């Protein structure tokens, strides 16, 4: 599924920071031009769930273990935490492991990206 944006070519618009940012992230391939239109096709980005939002808020800028994050979120069930909070945040690259080569390490911690 794609998001479509059509801008009538004769409409006056300024090239602000939006167009350069789009080019930086998606490249020139997302734009196509016709006689009267500029067509921009952007891929859908995954949605951040409420659980992932809560996880990011709980983490602040600290590196925390899974147990520490669960304590901050007042969660007890580790499998649900991994599936609903940790795994989606890792897949979206919103957090990263401090020891990526050893994901099951007892010293493993997680930190926010960016």
Spell out where the chain has E strands.
2-8, 31-33, 37-43, 95-97, 110-112
| 86 close to 78: Cβ distance less than 8 angstroms | no
Which pLDDT does position 52 carry in this prediction? 92
pLDDT by residue for the chain (114 residues), tens only, comes to: 344 444 433 344 455 567 777 777 777 888 888 888 878 877 776 678 899 999 999 998 789 999 999 999 999 999 999 999 999 999 989 999 999 999 999 999 999 997
The number of C-alpha atoms within 13 Å of 62 and in the hemisphere containing its C-beta is 11
Which pLDDT does position 42 carry in this prediction? 74
Q: What architecture is the 50-112 domain classified under in CATH?
A: Orthogonal Bundle (1.10)
Which pLDDT does position 2 carry in this prediction? 43
Q: What residue segments make up the domains of the chain, in order of their start?
A: 2-43, 50-112
Which pLDDT does position 16 carry in this prediction? 59
């Amino acid at each position: 599924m794609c998001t479509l944006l059509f801008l009538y070519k004769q409409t006056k618009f300024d090239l602000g920071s939006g167009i350069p940012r789009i080019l930086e992230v998606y490249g020139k391939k997302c734009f196509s031009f016709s006689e009267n239109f500029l067509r921009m096709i952007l891929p859908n980005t995954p949605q951040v769930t409420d659980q992932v939002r809560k996880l990011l808020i709980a983490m602040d800028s600290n590196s925390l273990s899974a147990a520490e994050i669960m304590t901050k979120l007042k969660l007890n069930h580790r499998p649900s935490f991994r599936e609903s909070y940790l795994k989606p945040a890792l897949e979206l690259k919103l957090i990263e492991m401090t020891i990526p080569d050893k994901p099951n390490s007892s010293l493993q911690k997680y930190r926010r990206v960016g």
